[in-house]
Structure 1
């Protein structure tokens, strides 16, 4: 997993509430368990015209001013719906490093953290202020400092956000669940050795 420390990137606004995981990545694309190959299908029912591959020029991801954006600005309850991990995979593969919203679907929120895609919760008033600033500013970009847990605007206004300390440290180190487990290989081996000494009969039985 890639480390997340400080990210400075341009913003794309998605002005919809209750965006569910089927909006993000429709179920018909859930044909693989690999983490790649979904970027083209991100928001596909909104991104393309009449189930074609012709981009809808009215959709924000297709607008020239938002090409290369790495921070998604969203509304309440982003990522609600099913538990599909493919939705954050598609967002990350498209190029997003962070999502800012007042609230997220719980499972989606944790699925993002599991792959190093940072979901930032800010209250609705601050999110509204960001939407308004973005509309007034060409090339609008934000700086997200994970160590400081702050989002800073082009004017220098800083908004703090909360994050579980364990999740924060994992992101700063770039460690997913497997990486965190590998850090404890010696502890795991010592535990297994101690258990074998304490309960030899159990391991003898399982070895048959």
Structure 2
């Protein structure tokens, strides 16, 4: 998992509330066995018509936001089913940060384990960021996980809370496997002792 310290990026505004995981990654793509390649299907039903034509007015089809790594959305982002594929799709598409007033609990956990920083700001602050991203060409934010701040070059500044353990894992780039491997030496020692004890008992 890629470590996260500070990111400055264009902002993509998704002015919708209650964005659920089936909208983030529709169920027909859950049969894939890989953890990569889901970015092509992010918001699939919103990005194209039933005939397969791009929806020009959808934010991710707007060339102004093609390099955005920060997504700003309405409250209750990531609600619905507990599919980890939603976090995979956002990450694979290139998003490192999602800012919203509230997030669904299971999605919040899945996103953190996949290197995505979720930032809770007030509805008023999120509304300001949405309007700025929609109206200011090339609008960018800087998100500092170390300082727990969101800033722009126009005077906006907001602070956010983050669980200390989650912050540590994101700063160090540690997912569940990475955390386990940090104790590889102790695990190897335990396994060696366990195997030796089993051998002695079998004699």
Contact 1:25/1:43 (8 A) holds in 2: yes
Distance 1:123 1:23 in 2: 23
Comparing 128-137 with 75-84, which one deviates more in the overlay? 128-137
1:139 aligned counterpart, secondary structure: coil
Within a 5 Å distance, the mapping from 1:64-143 to structure 2 comes to 64-143=63-142
Question: Which residue pairs with 1:163 in the alignment?
Answer: 162
Contact 2:82/2:106 (8 A) holds in 1: yes
Answering whether residue 44 of structure 2 is matched by residue 44 of structure 1, we say yes
Output one character per residue of 1:46-81: Cα deviation in whole Å (capped at 9) or x when no partner: 1101x2331010111111211111110001000000
C-alpha root-mean-square deviation of aligned residues, in Å? 2.2
Relative distance call for 1:205 and 1:28 in structure 2 (3 A) is farther
Deviation of 1:204 (Å): 6.6
Relative distance call for 1:196 and 1:145 in structure 2 (3 A) is same
Deviation of 1:142 (Å): 0.3
Relative distance call for 1:45 and 1:205 in structure 2 (3 A) is farther
Structure 2 length-normalised TM: 0.92
Answering whether residue 35 of structure 2 is matched by residue 13 of structure 1, we say no
Question: Which residue pairs with 2:55 in the alignment?
Answer: 56
Distance 1:114 1:15 in 2: 25
Distance 1:195 1:66 in 2: 55
Distance 1:206 1:157 in 2: 67
2:147 aligned counterpart, secondary structure: coil
Deviation of 1:28 (Å): 0.6
1:73 aligned counterpart, secondary structure: strand
Distance 2:99 2:14 in 1: 10
Give ranges in structure 1 of 5+ residues lacking alignment.
Answer: none
Contact 1:140/1:154 (8 A) holds in 2: no
Deviation of 1:187 (Å): 2.9
Question: Which residue pairs with 2:147 in the alignment?
Answer: 148
Give ranges in structure 2 of 5+ residues lacking alignment.
Answer: none
Output one character per residue of 1:76-114: Cα deviation in whole Å (capped at 9) or x when no partner: 000000111111111111111110001111111111111
